[in-house]
Structure 1
Amino acid sequence: MTARTIRRTTAVKSRIATAGAIVVAGSLLLTACGDQTQSGEKSVESSKAPLFDQLPKAIQDKGVVKVGSDISYAPVEFKDKSGKTVGIDPDLADALGKQLGVTFEFENGTFDSLLTGLRSKRYDMAMSAMTDTKDRQNGVDSDTGKKVGEGVDFVDYFTAGVSLYTKQGAKTGITTWSDVCGKKIVVQRATVSEDLAKAESKKCTSAGKGKISIESFDNDQQAQTRLRSGGAVVGSSDAPVAAYAAKTSGGGKDFEVVGEQVEAAPYGIAVAKGSPLAKALKDAMDAIIKSGEYAKILDKWGAGEGAVTEAKINGGS
């Protein structure tokens, strides 16, 4: 994740008439030389990063992009056993950093607070398996339809649908969302899975099949724990996350994905509305797609099915 700087010291030479003056001047020049090293540091950095000049000046000056993320959504972003932030998004951010000449620093937050943190300028961007939707672009609450903020711009970089998963071997008979009627489902709060569960519950009620009991959590790991303990019949999350949980949780013995994924839509990196950071990120993403580094990262995490051929700005619906 770190774009490492190369230090260069600019030599300053001066001829002074007296020996005493040489000593004094030499001391002053050493101090000045140290200052030039710091300012020259960014110059060398930017000269080696092809898209550095596209960044907003504030980010150029600090050399860091603050990233808001729910770091509990494996394999997109999560903590490994050593506590390091890893996954698809951190690896992509590393690659973007090489193109832009800055460091991307991930800060953990609950998913439903990330856009608020972005609006308050706590973060420069949010990168957290966030689906690009018109409601989010326009700052509209998807439940109430009311305006809740200015909205954001998205740089779309991946495509994922939503999957259902159950305890392995549970034989619930669930293969589609309509099969969830009258049952309890666990989801992460403020996600597409939660929206789908609410919409499907209304359909169930209208059809006289019994509403869906929805239990929402701050993060997906909590939802998985609840399902694992028998507190619900089924869970829902983004397709790559459900597949990863089925493959890894309990050594692959805890869960199984049921049915086909639905509602395929783009993941987007969210930035402030109208920010030039969107164009810089789009061009950087396109560069790593073209170089092949993007595909290598997705394949590493078993997520190649969600690859896109180009990044887009506000491509969600």
Structure 2
Amino acid sequence: MTTDGSRPVRRHLPRPALAAATAAALLTVLTACGSGTAATSAAAGSTGSAGSGGSTATAIPTQDVVSTVKADPALAAELPQAVRSRGSLILGTTQAVGTSGLPHAGTDASGQTVGLDVDLRNAVARVLGVDWDVQYGTFPTVIPGVQNGKFDVGQDNFGATKEREQVVDFATYLNDGQSFLGASGIKTDSVTSLTDLCGYNVATSPGSTFQQILTAGASKCAAAGKSPYKVQYFADTAPIILGLGNGKIDIYFGPTLALKYDALHLPNTKYLGQISSTPVGFVTAKGSPIAKALSDAVNHLVADGDYARILAKWGVAGSGITGSVINPSTTF
């Protein structure tokens, strides 16, 4: 909602773009809600160009970027003896369904879990000479599960925050952040501050950092002498994508990697930029030696070039890190 109750300027897509975007959005929703078997006209792994309206491709990239990763006995020795004896790390995460969680995680046509996070953790496991014993929870229960010893490691695109670092340790492996995806028909091609949103209809998720940022900045448009932005909240991304297609939503404010991926795969959308960044990492119990082993394994992948190949596969090379650290300094 706007702060002064006035009606923001509405901008709509041209009719040809509207029809194409709506059709593509419907395909995305069907794929996300189904088993991932929707047919596509593109070859697996093909992508468009972010910022150029995207591609009609919805196929999931299939190249193998993990099997050639080599084990490092010295890094494996950093794991606790109990882990080495059983040969596995117990991982807590949420279960991926369909394709709506990509590039982080989703399911392919065969029902196999795939994604950036999956490739990264599997590569880390190969470096450390162990397997993952994957167990599922919900986003709010994974970190407590790590704290109480149910899981050795948690992974679910967890951003490192000051509050979280008080109770668990983070071994970083990625940067994510707060970004904007626009309908291709809107006039702006870049958002570098909240005042660039003035006059637009913006969608985001409720109870999130994104909502906090938009609420805190709601007065900036009036201060700049511009029409306010209007915010709509959706717990699911499907209506947001539909809204971008039918002109009811101009801009989606959400996580950087997901929006960059959407810009590559959803026609008539464009990536508008990022205003802040958040380090993402594996979560371990406070003081656990597993954190260092994971961090060192990520650095091994970076040095060998395997890390870059994984990110390139999923089209998110710009969100990579130059090195993993434990408990990074954070903004939030």
**Fold shared per TM-score above 0.5:** yes
Residue of structure 2 in register with 1:165 after alignment: 181
Question: Offset of 1:111 from its aligned partner?
Answer: 3.8
Contact kept? 1:173, 1:179, Cα under 8 Å? no
Residue of structure 2 in register with 1:215 after alignment: 233
Confirm or deny that 1:83 pairs with 2:111. yes
Q: What amino acid maps onto 2:174 in structure 1? A: F
Residue of structure 2 in register with 1:277 after alignment: 290
Contact kept? 1:159, 1:266, Cα under 8 Å? yes
Identity %: 29
Residue of structure 2 in register with 1:55 after alignment: 79
Please list every run of 5 or more consecutive structure 1 residues that lacks an aligned counterpart in the other structure: 1-46, 139-150
| Structure-to-structure mapping, 1:171-250, within 5 angstroms | 171=187, 175=191, 176-181=193-198, 184-188=201-205, 191-201=208-218, 203=220, 210=228, 212-217=230-235, 220=237, 223-225=240-242, 227-228=244-245, 232-249=249-266
Question: Offset of 1:132 from its aligned partner?
Answer: 1.5
TM-score (norm 2): 0.65
Question: Offset of 1:163 from its aligned partner?
Answer: 1.6
Larger Rg: 1
Residue of structure 2 in register with 1:155 after alignment: 171
Q: What amino acid maps onto 2:269 in structure 1? A: F
Matches of 2:134 and 2:254, distance apart in 1: 22
Match among 83, 92, 100 for residue 128 of structure 2: 100
Q: Is the partner of 1:236 in helix, strand or coil? A: strand
Confirm or deny that 1:119 pairs with 2:136. no
Q: What amino acid maps onto 1:66 in structure 2? A: L
Please list every run of 5 or more consecutive structure 2 residues that lacks an aligned counterpart in the other structure: 1-70
Match among 92, 97, 114 for residue 67 of structure 1: 92
Confirm or deny that 1:268 pairs with 2:284. no
Contact kept? 1:132, 1:154, Cα under 8 Å? yes
Question: Offset of 1:210 from its aligned partner?
Answer: 4.5
TM-score (norm 1): 0.67
Please state which structure has a larger fraction of its residues in helix: 1
Contact kept? 1:289, 1:309, Cα under 8 Å? yes
Question: Offset of 1:119 from its aligned partner?
Answer: 3.4
- The alignment yields a C-alpha RMSD, in angstroms, of 3.2
Question: Offset of 1:117 from its aligned partner?
Answer: 4.0
Contact kept? 2:177, 2:274, Cα under 8 Å? yes
Confirm or deny that 1:128 pairs with 2:156. yes
After superposition, the Cα gap between the structure-2 partners of 1:205 and 1:56, relative to the gap in structure 1 and judged at 3 Å, is farther
Matches of 1:304 and 1:241, distance apart in 2: 13
Contact kept? 1:205, 1:211, Cα under 8 Å? no
**CA-to-partner distance for each residue in 1:176-220, whole Å, 9 max, x for gaps?**
422435654333456543442333236457778547534142x65
Q: Is the partner of 2:173 in helix, strand or coil? A: strand
Match among 296, 308, 312 for residue 309 of structure 2: 296
* Bigger relative contact order, structure 1 or 2 (CA pairs below 8 A, ≥6 apart): 2
